[in-house]
Structure 1
Amino acid sequence: MSDREVRVVEQVNKTLFLGGKWREPASGASFAVEDPSTRKVLCEVSDAGERDAMEALDIAAKAQPDWQRTAPRERGEILHRAYGLLMERQEDLATLMTLEMGKPLSEARGEIAYAAEFFRWFSEEAVRIEGGFSLSPDGKSRFLIMKQAVGPCMLITPWNFPMAMGTRKIGPAIAAGCTMILKPAHQTPLSALALAGILTEAGLPEGVLSVLPTTDPGGITEPLLTDGRIRKLSFTGSTAIGRRLLEQSSGQVLRTSMELGGNAPFLVFDDADLDAAVDGAMLAKMRNIGEACTAANRIYAQSGIAEEFSRRLSERMGALRLGRGLEDNVDVGPLIDDKARKKVQDLVDDAVNLGANVLVGGGPGDGPGHFYRPTVLANVPFAAELSRTEIFGPVAPVMPFETEEEVLRASNDTEFGLVSYVYTRDLNRALRVAEALETGMVGLNQGVVSNPAAPFGGVKHSGLGREGGRVGIDEFLESKYVGIGGL
């Protein structure tokens, strides 16, 4: 690592963050954090266990009553100060993220800005928590509706967007007046620990937040969720783990938000602006090296333009430069680990065995890191495994279709329903297709849907609840009805 990279890593406190204090874990254990582009160890981070988790819960439960009585304006100001600090340190935080996760530095900078916007958005929502007052229909009583913090929260974030997924959950929790315990992914704990330090500088009181990196997530989440004092779980990750967490949450009937897996269809009709469609496909497929739940997983191109679309997409994908994310002019970094790379290769091999053609890429990249070359597959049959499985890598399968009815049937033939994308210049078709697609979000002639001011979330097995937008804070609030009689 360069001297600057060493400095960026060294300035992060790598012990546990328990209610505002940095402490070694009860066991004294630690684990290595690796750079996926070199496979070299960046540093050692404290490894939390069950005793640490229960101490964090004691702290959160004790702090909850005073924290929820804190003035909304004060909570909002903390978030706004944290927003400023994130933007002030954007370059160092982006470098840190690229080191532990691998994405190109330009994308990491974009994620820091995106992450900061969640704090700015929810700093403004903190003072707009509204209840209601009305007359009962029979005129004999009054209805008073209060909105109150749900209570201590468990927040679980993934490795692919280590800063933005943290702020997307922490922001509304702080705005609503909830204490919280954050468990980041063990592959990318440094961004979460850096975020804890920034929130401390911004004035977050002791007791409100704990951050517990761990290599034994089940060993700390299950006792927390079954204890009874945690009242809310917010999870972003795979559908398989989400189902398990829902089972663990059921005993205490916890409020849950689940942002789970995706299998996004990307529909290109023959009347689409092909230049715009290719631009959109590059964004929807290659954001974050394809390691995103919103990534275009199945690209359906109408038969009249499928060959030309595939050709243009292949030219763009083939021109991308693969390499370490901190190097100049790198477009595509490594996948997170070898398990992820093997999964991508297996999916490509399956599609090719069933008749798909490799137009560009199709195999691992050079070097010691977990690299996979940007790949375009043409004439992919609907029976291919990657039409049912989230690829989570830089592979764009193009599947031709004939009719609107056919492509809608194929698009909805999945247990997932997070996001879909549609490219057409026909307004009636655009609205008709957007209504028919069974997803929580639709990108209409655009390849990116994520925005802190919009409700993010899916249907079916892609999740429960919404993050961001005006409704994002509602996930951390309970409604209390007070009936007033005798007036």
Structure 2
Amino acid sequence: MTADREAQVVDQVPKQLFIGGEWRDAASGATFKVEDPSTGAVLCEVADAGVDDAFAALTAADAAQPTWAAHPPRERGEILRRAYELLMARQDELGLLMTLEMGKPLAEAKGEIAYAAEFFRWFAEEAVRIEGGYSVSPDGRSRFLVMRRPVGPAMLITPWNFPMAMGTRKIGPAVAAGCTMVLKPAQQTPLSALALAAVLKEAGLPDGVLSVIPTSDAGGVTEPLLTDGRIRKVSFTGSTAVGRTLLKQSADQVLRTSMELGGNAPFLVFDDADLDAAVEGAMLAKMRNIGEACTAANRIYVQAGVAEEFARRLGERMSALRMGRGTEEGVQVGPLIDARAREKVQGLVDDAVGRGARVLVGGGPGDGAGYFYRPTVLADVPQESRLAHTEIFGPVAPVISFESESEAVAAANDTEYGLVSYLFTRDLGRAFRVSEALETGMVGLNQGIVSNPAAPFGGVKHSGLGREGGRVGIDEFLETKYVGIAGID
């Protein structure tokens, strides 16, 4: 990949705020820098939204809401379909853009563009399937008419680790339902969101339906909107700590909320499992997005009889991964997002080793510029280590042995989080027992990836509220209205 090509891809993305269908500078004229995490170099600067810009975006959304809610569902779906086709046609350039600002290998970034586009295709089809109901009252004297209506203007807050897919996963159902939106992308990865806004404008999304406001002051910009009264829905993907704050800020206005928060995913391997399949599943569950995913396998519990062999095979696979800048051919492991993320991962590894864990492979940062951390496998990780209770968000696989099924389930559920869990076994009865007993919103049974636009994504406990994707994803942006009709008899 040439430097000229990289510069060209960055240059063609708008660097301004997108408000009311127009590109504009921040009211203050402020900008912030976007960094390439693989080199530490500055890619560009983008407009830095302040409170005045946020209110301008909200005003545009509020003004557009009545007309957009009345927009024919088929036409809303066709806008999403055109946006899907544009994303797929530009998979190469949008994937490169994501690699430059976020660091994931180019092949994986291009895969995310395809995954992101699928949310638009899925919800393009759901836009015309918003159904209500009609029934007779029990006493026969009246009729019940039930209709579904858009919630209203929505605040969408997306993370840096999947900068395109988390945008489409929220925008897709909002567009299909007839909601206007204000999107605040993560400070580290605003370019993918701005490129997505340009795609939607080209696809025919009316002015004011979507505004995008990158900012270096997330809390200062979002809180005034949530307490204003015109926002009626907030959808957030990010940490549990920030989610708690947003829930508190949403309480006074009694906002509808969707919260996809942190995870601490257990990955269970029983001694009757297909060990080759389990290792392959662990590689997918652990190393998707360099481990920087809420769905990443965080604690790998392996039954004692196969724990040593599993750890050996996993170590061989991890040590064979090629680390480097994501634009280079054959690279499988890119950098972490920033220096703080790398320091956190190193601290967790040091704590585990200090408590008796053995480093099989990796265990330290990569060489040269950028925020690289070597793919790491730790064996004999004690349950009391911080690794067993903290979301790692990095390429570190801690292997913890267990003796019995009940012990494995108890350890897996010993966390405040409940997003996803993984289970490998060839025993059908065990598969059902353990799947039912695991306290998570999703379970990967003999597979290492659960994310799919056609399936409901979300967690329980401190991992969140609501679901995204699947048939229920659009429900988060719809209210139910009941009309009682008298005088029938």
Q: What is the TM-score normalised by the length of structure 1?
A: 1.00
Matches within 5 A, 1:194-209: 194-209=195-210
Matches within 5 A, 1:148-297: 148-297=149-298
1:110 corresponds to: 111
Q: How big is the shift at 1:135? A: 1.0
Q: How big is the shift at 1:19? A: 1.6
Aligned length: 487
Matches within 5 A, 1:8-407: 8-407=9-408
Q: How big is the shift at 1:411? A: 0.4
Q: Distance in 1 between matches of 2:465 and 2:331?
A: 36
Q: Distance in 1 between matches of 2:366 and 2:322?
A: 11
Q: How big is the shift at 1:194? A: 0.2
Which letter maps to 2:356? G
Where 1:266 maps in the other structure, the secondary structure is strand
Where 1:17 maps in the other structure, the secondary structure is strand
Q: How big is the shift at 1:57? A: 0.7
Deviations along 1:74-129, whole A, 9 cap, x unmatched? 00000000000000000000000000000000100100000000000000000000
- The runs of 5 or more residues in structure 2 that have no matched partner are none
Q: Distance in 1 between matches of 2:139 and 2:457?
A: 39
Q: How big is the shift at 1:38? A: 0.3
Which letter maps to 1:303? A
Deviations along 1:56-84, whole A, 9 cap, x unmatched? 11111010000000000000000000000
Q: Distance in 1 between matches of 2:442 and 2:40?
A: 36
Report % sequence identity: 77
Q: Distance in 1 between matches of 2:298 and 2:20?
A: 40
2:456 corresponds to: 455
1:428 corresponds to: 429
Deviations along 1:233-278, whole A, 9 cap, x unmatched? 0000000000000000000000000000000000000000000000
Q: Distance in 2 between matches of 1:138 and 1:119?
A: 44
Which letter maps to 2:335? P
Q: How big is the shift at 1:383? A: 0.4
Where 1:146 maps in the other structure, the secondary structure is strand
Where 2:33 maps in the other structure, the secondary structure is strand
Which letter maps to 1:295? A
Which letter maps to 2:74? R
Which letter maps to 2:344? K
Where 1:227 maps in the other structure, the secondary structure is coil
Where 1:235 maps in the other structure, the secondary structure is strand
Q: Distance in 2 between matches of 1:57 and 1:2?
A: 38
1:414 corresponds to: 415
Moved more, 138-147 or 25-34: 138-147
Q: How big is the shift at 1:158? A: 0.1
Which letter maps to 2:414? D
Q: How big is the shift at 1:485? A: 1.1
Q: Distance in 1 between matches of 2:177 and 2:465?
A: 19
Q: Distance in 2 between matches of 1:390 and 1:367?
A: 26
Q: Distance in 1 between matches of 2:155 and 2:283?
A: 35
Q: How big is the shift at 1:315? A: 0.1
1:479 corresponds to: 480
Q: How big is the shift at 1:444? A: 0.1
TM-align CA RMSD: 0.5
Q: Distance in 2 between matches of 1:356 and 1:145?
A: 58
Q: How big is the shift at 1:138? A: 1.8
Q: Distance in 2 between matches of 1:251 and 1:427?
A: 48
Q: How big is the shift at 1:169? A: 0.2
Q: Distance in 2 between matches of 1:48 and 1:21?
A: 14
Q: Distance in 1 between matches of 2:27 and 2:481?
A: 39
Which letter maps to 2:299? R
Q: Distance in 2 between matches of 1:74 and 1:214?
A: 32
Where 2:462 maps in the other structure, the secondary structure is helix
Q: Distance in 1 between matches of 2:435 and 2:140?
A: 43
Q: How big is the shift at 1:141? A: 1.3
Q: Distance in 1 between matches of 2:466 and 2:336?
A: 29
Where 2:172 maps in the other structure, the secondary structure is helix
Where 2:417 maps in the other structure, the secondary structure is coil
Q: How big is the shift at 1:367? A: 1.2
- The runs of 5 or more residues in structure 1 that have no matched partner are none
Q: Distance in 1 between matches of 2:254 and 2:389?
A: 31
Q: How big is the shift at 1:398? A: 0.2
Report runs of 4+ in structure 1 exceeding 2 Å deviation. Answer: none
Q: Distance in 2 between matches of 1:393 and 1:367?
A: 18
Q: Distance in 1 between matches of 2:59 and 2:311?
A: 56
Which letter maps to 1:403? S
Q: How big is the shift at 1:390? A: 0.1
Q: Distance in 1 between matches of 2:355 and 2:486?
A: 70
Q: Distance in 1 between matches of 2:390 and 2:20?
A: 39
Q: Distance in 1 between matches of 2:15 and 2:134?
A: 48
Q: How big is the shift at 1:6? A: 0.4
Which letter maps to 2:465? L
Q: Distance in 1 between matches of 2:270 and 2:140?
A: 56
Which letter maps to 1:156? I
Q: Distance in 1 between matches of 2:176 and 2:160?
A: 24
Where 2:101 maps in the other structure, the secondary structure is helix
Q: How big is the shift at 1:137? A: 1.6
